[in-house]
Amino acid sequence: MNSIDRYILDNSSPEEALLDELDRVTHQRMVQPRMLSGHVQGLFLEMVVRMLGAQTVLEIGTFTGYSALSMARGLPEGGVLHTIEVDDELEMLIRSFFDRSAYADRIVLHIGSALDIAPNLNTKFDLVFIDGDKREYPQYYRMVMDGLVHSGSYLLADNVLWYGKVTESVAHNDRHTQAILEFNRMVCEDPRVENVILPLRDGLNLIRVK
């Protein structure tokens, strides 16, 4: 960790004990623990939910549940967060932390493909956090914009700078980078929205539906 990152952590609100434990467990058990949102991004997501006064949140890509728990903290009483994870092997770990959280009643976990599950939730979402399979980002965007949001909804898409690969030559078989580039281009060219890319961690595309 560099000095700036340490300074940011030292001068931001402290991490909840349960989230700190989840961070440690994720780094112990997962092959790619960097997929975890982490403390600073978690705080940002919580703040966004609070600022929007969001009542309904959709998360595409739960991983071990850090970002879902962070956003649930920001929900008002009666708010609900639907989070979808495709890897069923993570379900037990995710639920073990959700069940211990003070916000468990605000979270609904779904296991399976977001492309199959989300359209059947029959909900218009105030906020959608996209952090699933990067190769499916363009499909997620089309799906969400086709009836899952309303005027004034916000979308947040993670990893949109993709470790800097978005500014480099892309290999013909690099489907992840190709999909991220397509997603960012789709958003920028879509007259139904306005957006800004934030250089937080690996890049967040903040999108407002007009």
CB-based burial of residue 13 (10 Å sphere; 0-12 exposed, 13-18 middle, 19+ buried)? exposed
Q: Which stretches of 11-90 are DSSP H helices?
A: 17-29, 39-52, 66-74
Answer for the pair 130, 207: CB distance below 8 angstroms, yes or no: no
Q: Which residues of the chain have pLDDT under 70?
A: none
Query: Which helix (H) or strand (E) is 107 found in, with range?
Result: strand 107-111
**In angstroms, rounded to a whole number, what is the distance separating the alpha carbons of residues 71 and 60?**
13
- State both tokens at 65: 């549940």
Sign of the C-alpha dihedral computed for residues 82, 83, 88 and 90 taken in this order: negative
pLDDT of amino acid 207: 98
pTM over 0.85: yes
pLDDT of amino acid 101: 97
For the stretch 9-57, pLDDT in tens is: 999 999 999 999 999 999 999 988 888 889 999 999 999 999 999 999 9
pLDDT of amino acid 148: 98
